[in-house]
């Protein structure tokens, strides 16, 4: 299997991403990786790896659709074009907007779908919870949300290995009839969709593993994820402040440092690897912008599994059987 990895985009730098690829090659003996990045990465190249050299990439500050159209040599654009040849998937830690624009403009959507959805993994146990849409679509309708549920369910089955993923609808209360016009209509469509719908789930249960797939529109998903990030940031910095406020608490913090490090790891997005843009014709995975080598290797694991299980094939069949505008 041949896949592509974007060496740009992680704030840890291209060399760290190369290290992640090397770890993945050891784990997957049949894997070949095309690393898109600076030519200098070509030194000391391990077997089963090649460099696709470019010095261009798309930053978070650029207008994504414009940049994707203008920068033909940008790493993610180059990667998407290479997927039309013999590479089967692409992983990038770069700009989410650029990945979304690349998916829609270059890779293009699967037949029967008008919107692709961004997935994200919440750090729950024993396995992560998949949330979609994490921010690709600001205004949606009930049929789109149902399709997101279907795609999330297939992805979770194939990549996380859950036989019958429990799909929940993110809402303001668990009872049927709760919510806004969108969630009320989505509830009844999801009930009749070919997936294991468990009903509404509340935002306070995002960490409780009450379901395996959380469905929401991209606006709501983005609000939930950023609230989560903001709260985690607020608490960890407040904890640090309080621990450093006195001598006794400082000693306490020193003795408890293993526990504090473990807590940090549990909150760490990068541990969960990467998640795909679902609804497009090829596997396109987004890793976190702070991904280290381990996170990249984890992300590659997920991408390899996604390809091995022919997830795109399964999605294509499901979307043809349950087209967005159908019954």
Residue 267 lies near a copy of itself (rule: CB under 8 A): yes
Residues 33-92 that bind a copy of itself (CB under 8 A): none
Residues 209-228 that bind a copy of itself (CB under 8 A): 217-220, 222-228
Residue 13 lies near a copy of itself (rule: CB under 8 A): no
CB atoms within 10 A of CB 59: 13
**Residue 65: CB minimum distance to a copy of itself, A:** 13
How big is the chain by its Cα radius of gyration, in Å? 20
Q: Between residues 174 and 322, which has the closer beta carbon with respect to a copy of itself? A: 174
Residue 310 makes CB contacts below 8 A (sequence gap 6+) with: none
3-state secondary structure of 81: helix
**Residue 179: CB minimum distance to a copy of itself, A:** 6
**Residue 228: CB minimum distance to a copy of itself, A:** 5
Query: Which window, 25-33, 78-86, 197-205, 285-293, contacts a copy of itself (CB under 8 A)?
Result: 197-205
Q: Alpha helices of the chain — where are they, by DSSP H? A: 14-27, 64-70, 75-82, 96-102, 142-159, 181-191, 218-243, 247-255, 257-267, 293-308, 311-321
Residue 232 lies near a copy of itself (rule: CB under 8 A): yes
| Residue 199 to residue 219: CA distance in whole angstroms | 20
Query: Which window, 4-12, 28-36, 38-46, 259-267, contacts a copy of itself (CB under 8 A)?
Result: 259-267
Q: Name the β-bridge partners of 33.
A: 3, 49
The answer to whether the CB of 96 falls within 8 A of the CB of 65 is no
Query: Which window, 48-56, 65-73, 247-255, 299-307, contacts a copy of itself (CB under 8 A)?
Result: 247-255
**Residue 164: CB minimum distance to a copy of itself, A:** 25
Residue 145 makes CB contacts below 8 A (sequence gap 6+) with: 169, 182, 186, 189, 190, 215, 216, 217
Instruction: Estimate to the nearest angstrom the gap between the alpha carbon of 133 and the chain centroid.
Output: 10
Q: Which of 243, 294, 305, 308 binds a copy of itself (CB under 8 A)?
A: 243
3-state secondary structure of 277: strand
Q: Between residues 22 and 166, which has the closer beta carbon with respect to a copy of itself? A: 166
Residue 1 lies near a copy of itself (rule: CB under 8 A): no
Q: Which of 99, 170, 293, 303 binds a copy of itself (CB under 8 A)?
A: 170
The DSSP secondary-structure symbol of 280 reads B
3-state secondary structure of 47: coil
Residues that bind a copy of itself (CB under 8 A): 135, 138-139, 170, 172, 179-181, 183, 202-208, 217-220, 222-236, 238-239, 242-243, 245-246, 248-249, 251-260, 262-263, 266-267
């Amino acid at each position: 299997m041949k896949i592509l990895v974007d060496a740009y985009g992680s704030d840890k730098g291209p060399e760290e991403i190369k290290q992640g690829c090397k770890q993945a090659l050891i784990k997957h003996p049949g894997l070949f990786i095309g690393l898109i990045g600076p030519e200098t990465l070509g030194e000391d190249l391990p077997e089963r790896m090649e460099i696709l050299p470019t010095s261009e990439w798309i930053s978070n500050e650029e207008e994504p659709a414009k940049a994707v159209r203008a920068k033909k040599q940008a790493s993610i654009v180059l990667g998407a074009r290479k997927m039309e040849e013999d590479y089967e998937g692409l992983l990038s830690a770069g700009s989410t907007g650029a990945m979304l624009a690349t998916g829609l403009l270059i890779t293009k959507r699967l037949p029967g779908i008008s919107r692709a959805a961004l997935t994200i993994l919440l750090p729950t146990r024993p396995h992560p919870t998949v949330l979609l849409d994490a921010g690709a679509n600001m205004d949606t309708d009930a049929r789109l949300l149902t399709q997101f549920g279907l795609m999330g369910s297939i992805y979770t089955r194939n990549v996380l290995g859950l036989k019958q993923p429990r799909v929940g609808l993110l809402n303001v209360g668990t009872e049927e009839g709760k919510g806004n016009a969108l969630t009320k209509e989505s509830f009844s469509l999801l009930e009749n969709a070919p997936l294991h719908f468990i009903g509404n789930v509340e935002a306070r249960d995002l960490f409780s593993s009450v379901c395996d797939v959380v469905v929401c529109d991209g606006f709501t998903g983005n609000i939930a994820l950023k609230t989560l990030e903001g709260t985690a940031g607020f608490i960890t910095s407040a904890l640090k402040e309080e621990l450093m406020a006195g001598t006794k608490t400082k000693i306490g913090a020193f003795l408890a440092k293993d526990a504090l490090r473990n807590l940090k790891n549990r909150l760490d997005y990068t541990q969960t690897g990467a998640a795909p843009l679902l609804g497009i014709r090829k596997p396109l995975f987004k890793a976190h912008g702070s991904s280290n080598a381990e996170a990249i290797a984890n992300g590659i694991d997920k991408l390899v599994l996604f390809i091995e299980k022919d997830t795109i094939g399964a999605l294509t069949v499901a979307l043809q059987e349950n087209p967005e505008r159908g019954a």
